[in-house]
Amino acid sequence: MDRFIIFDMDGVLINTEAMCYQVWKDLFAQLGVEINMDIYKCCIGSSDDVLMESVWQHCGKDFRGRTDLMEFFETRKLQEIAEHGVPPIPGAAETLRALQARGYRMAVASASPPSHIRLCLEKVGLLPYFEVLFSGEEVERTKPAPDVFLAAAAAMGAAPKDCTVVEDSRNGTLAAQAAGMRCIGFVNPDSGDQDLSAADVLIYRFAELLDAI
């Protein structure tokens, strides 16, 4: 039985997708562009570059390559966290504690920057459960490419076939599939109407992971 679990973070371990969407929505509104969840959701689990491409395709406004917008987003997101904290996923801490007690080794592989990953996990008290933290910024290709999952597995000394991924996005489930890893899709309404058909099984509450694993 596999003993390695790789978690996405935003929308899986912390419920930040709604916050991130609102920050981007407000930012684009200041630029005279209205986005909705259909435009935004394609970037969940992937990179800001994907969002800029989606805005270009749907709105005809070209912000591709605007690193200043991405920096502004990161600054505003940190302000939101400082003011309101990190929204937790109900049952995450208890479930991770139970998995650790069963002998599972766990990692995080997220599209977020390394500093954001560590900050958020520290704030919700989940950091001690993970031996490896990997960011999509540390690999060549972001999700739906499998690079970040393969890197996390290698850091734990695990073969892909012995790893299970927990993801809330289409990009993430496709990345897990491409990595040759079993995937559990976490249905989070705040992540938009994500297509999780690439997952092997779906869960609707975090605590259901104990049975699904």
Let me know if 162 is exposed, middle or buried by CB neighbors in 10 A (0-12, 13-18, 19+).
middle
Write out the catalytic residue numbers: 8, 10
The CA distance from 151 to 211, in Å, is 26
How many CB atoms neighbour CB 140 within 10 A?
9
Q: What predicted TM-score, i.e. pTM, was given to this entire model?
A: 0.87
Instruction: Give the dihedral sign, CA 61/65/71/73.
Output: positive
189: phi > 0 → left, psi -120 to 50 → alpha, else beta; which? alpha
Tens of pLDDT, residue by residue over 70-126, are: 888 888 888 988 888 898 899 999 999 999 999 999 999 998 889 889 999 999 999
Tens of pLDDT, residue by residue over 197-210, are: 999 999 999 999 99
Give the three-state DSSP class for 48: helix
Give the three-state DSSP class for 139: coil
Tens of pLDDT, residue by residue over 31-76, are: 999 989 888 887 787 778 888 998 999 999 999 888 898 888 888 8
CB contact set of 213 (below 8 Å; sequence gap of 6+): 5, 99, 104, 164, 184
